Chains A and B, each alone.
Chain A
Amino acid sequence: MTRTQSITTLKLTITAMAISLMVTSCTTVKEYQKNKLNDAEMPLSNRKIEKTELSFQSYREGASGANAGKTGGGCGCN
């Protein structure tokens, strides 16, 4: 295994461990305890105002998707 492969494996392992730790340490949050989670800045989504930003990024960059937007099609971009 090369040094680069070792570093990549190490990064993936640390990420997987961190995610496992986060998910397994979840606590039940009652509706009345969700005032922070329900804050207007907290949604796990893009802001409406970012619509044109996401559009120009999909034109100017090769990658797209995994952000609740388009993964291609609907415009002259790829």
Chain B
Amino acid sequence: MKRVFLTAAAIFALLQSYSQTAVDSTAFKSRTLQLEEINFVSSYYHQDGNNSAVTGGIGTEKLTDLANVIDVTLTRYDKKFRKNTFIGELGIDHYTSASSDMIDPKNMSSASHADTRIYPSVSWSVENEKKRSSFGIGLSSSTEFDYQSFGANINFSKKNKNKSGEFSAKLQAYLDQLKLIAPIELRSNPNANNRGNNYPSAGRNSYSASLSYSQIVNKSLQIMFLADVAQQSGYLSLPFHRVYFTDGSVHQENLPDTRFKVPLGFRANYFVGDKFIIRTYYRFYKDSWGITSNTANIEVPVKITPFLSVSPFYRYYDQTAIKYFAPYKEHTAQDQYYTSNYDFSKFNASFFGLDLRIAPPKAVFGIQHLNMLELRYGHYKKDIGLNSNIISMNLKFK
């Protein structure tokens, strides 16, 4: 009996030690290009308010936006067993904006009363499991009627020895050009037909550096610290935003040509028991135009089953006004810089809603390769009157 017990104990110990053996990173890994996943994200956004910047801080802000984004992720191991990841993405937005009709009410097609934005991007990253590091680069562009942007980024990350902490750094640059479409009454020749590309243009450059450090605290909790510094320079106003002075005269928005931003963030995700997860996020933000802002977000995914989760979420946001903001007809000729854009005014906002995620071990609804379906609805409300709703869907194919 004693011998049987000892044999069983030895087998159990052997199995235990085998199950705890680290995965051999030199094991066979396919070097052919493999399709990892395809994501399709579609959103419909609608907003309404009564503080349009196009009409000087008064008037409708009604806007709708239909956004569709598809991304494809491919992976391949190279000769040194490093994992190479290639991601290609294409986004197309179509939006209509009631206030943009007011740039030139007689000729609505002259500006973006309805427009389409196309934004492709590509990225490549290589992960070295032995060195616990990864490196990547990316390129992007965004094109709409009055705005053209080119972006580039480079990033690096390194995990610590026991892989419980990871440091990441990212540098980003955006080189933008915007057409200077003035409100009709402020054009030198209001009768000129500017349907083509005859508008003058101006540049806007944005550079940022992002640092983050994530840490596994225990089996159920992980946290992350984020810090960015960003510098913008060039034409930072929007040329079709009107500003009315106290004397009734109308002007184009005029903002400084540099802006320095410092956002600091913190995330913590905690798995409570077997069914609840608490996802939290906080951001403190300050910039050289005078905005100080706080953002706090909490989301509580509830795992109804291992493959179905429902996540109510709530986000709180507040900000102070920039130094150059004043409402309709409150700026004076003494002001060097001026705007009546209420997105730069003092306000607080709430955003709440529900997220539903289905990811069964086999296909969703039996549709081949459909690995995950996610639906999300959110309602956004500013205390200065703007309300919006957004509904989104993510389909993941594997």
A binds B: yes
What are 10 sample pairs from A and B whose C-beta atoms fall under 8 A apart?
A: A26-B164, A44-B222, A52-B65, A52-B67, A53-B390, A63-B261, A66-B285, A72-B230, A73-B174, A75-B117
Q: Which residues on A sit within 8 Å (CB–CB) of B104?
A: none
Interface residue? A25 (CB, 8 A): yes
* Residues of A contacting B: mostly: loop
A29 with B218: CB separation less than 8 A: yes
Q: Which residues on A sit within 8 Å (CB–CB) of B295?
A: 63
Interface residue? B154 (CB, 8 A): no
The 4 closest A-B pairs by CB, nearest first: A73-B174, A73-B206, A66-B265, A66-B263
B210 with A68: CB separation less than 8 A: yes
A63 with B291: CB separation less than 8 A: yes
Q: Which residues on A sit within 8 Å (CB–CB) of B71?
A: 48
Q: Which residues on A sit within 8 Å (CB–CB) of B394?
A: 47-49
Proximity bits, B253-278, A CB within 8 Å = 1, else 0? 00000010101111101010000010
Q: How far is the CA of A78 from the CA of B39 in the complex (A)?
A: 28
Proximity bits, A24-42, B CB within 8 Å = 1, else 0? 0111111111101101111
B176 with A74: CB separation less than 8 A: yes
A76 with B178: CB separation less than 8 A: yes
Q: Which residues on B sit within 8 Å (CB–CB) of A43?
A: 269
Q: How far is the CA of A11 from the CA of B185 in the complex (A)?
A: 51
Q: Which of B49-87 contact A (CB under 8 A)?
A: 65, 67, 69, 71
Q: Which residues on A sit within 8 Å (CB–CB) of B144?
A: 76
In which size bucket is the chain B interface?
35 or more
Q: Which residues on A sit within 8 Å (CB–CB) of B376?
A: 47, 49-50
A66 with B20: CB separation less than 8 A: no
A62 with B220: CB separation less than 8 A: no
Given A67-B226, A74-B140, A78-B259, A51–B210 Cβ distance below 8 Å? no
Interface residue? B217 (CB, 8 A): yes
Name the one of B69, B263, B279, B343 contacting A65, with C-beta atoms under 8 angstroms: B263
In which size bucket is the chain A interface?
35 or more
- Least distance between A70 CB and chain B CB atoms (Å): 8
Proximity bits, B291-314, A CB within 8 Å = 1, else 0? 101010000010100000101000
B176 with A73: CB separation less than 8 A: yes
- Least distance between A7 CB and chain B CB atoms (Å): 14
Interface residue? B14 (CB, 8 A): no
A51 with B228: CB separation less than 8 A: no
Interface residue? B124 (CB, 8 A): no
A63 with B285: CB separation less than 8 A: yes
A71 with B263: CB separation less than 8 A: yes
- Least distance between B51 CB and chain A CB atoms (Å): 11
Q: Which residues on A sit within 8 Å (CB–CB) of B140?
A: 74
A72 with B20: CB separation less than 8 A: no
In the complex, the chain B residue whose C-beta lies closest to that of A40 is B359
